[in-house]
């Protein structure tokens, strides 16, 4: 089964299969969200700037598995590199997201 067949990706119990799409997120090309795929349900996802400032934090509830490229005040973030930290009940994972404007 693929994402394209069902339109839905099952939450994973393991962060080793985590995938971020699209990356880079190109706002000029129409990207408005970055999806966290194969993330365990109830995982906490935190987005940070390169300076280490918290940009946004949310809990993946099993349905809203995306970052809308906004900060905690729902303002669009600037172009640049952002770090993410995903914490599930038993694991954690990190990575980078590029935003192009």
Instruction: Please write the tens of the pLDDT for every residue from 86-96.
Output: 999 999 999 99
Inside any domain, residue 5: no
Instruction: Please write the tens of the pLDDT for every residue from 32-47.
Output: 999 999 898 899 999 9
Inside any domain, residue 41: yes
Task: Tell me which residue range forms the domain holding 17.
Answer: 11-100
What is the tally of structural domains in the chain? 1
Handedness of CA 15, 5, 30, 42 (dihedral sign): negative
pLDDT confidence of residue 92: 94
Inside any domain, residue 1: no
- The CATH code of the domain that includes 94 is 2.60.40.3080
How far, CA to CA in Å, does 95 sit from each of 8, 19, 29? Answer: 23, 10, 22
């Amino acid at each position: 089964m693929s994402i394209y067949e069902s339109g839905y990706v099952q939450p994973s119990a393991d962060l080793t299969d985590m995938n971020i799409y699209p990356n880079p997120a190109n706002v000029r090309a129409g990207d408005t969200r970055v999806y966290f795929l194969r993330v365990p349900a109830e995982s906490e996802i935190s987005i940070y700037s390169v300076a280490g400032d918290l940009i946004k934090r949310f809990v993946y509830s099993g349905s809203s598995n995306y970052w809308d490229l906004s900060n905690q005040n729902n303002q669009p973030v600037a172009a640049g590199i952002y770090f993410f930290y995903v914490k599930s009940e038993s694991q954690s994972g990190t990575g980078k997201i590029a935003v192009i404007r």
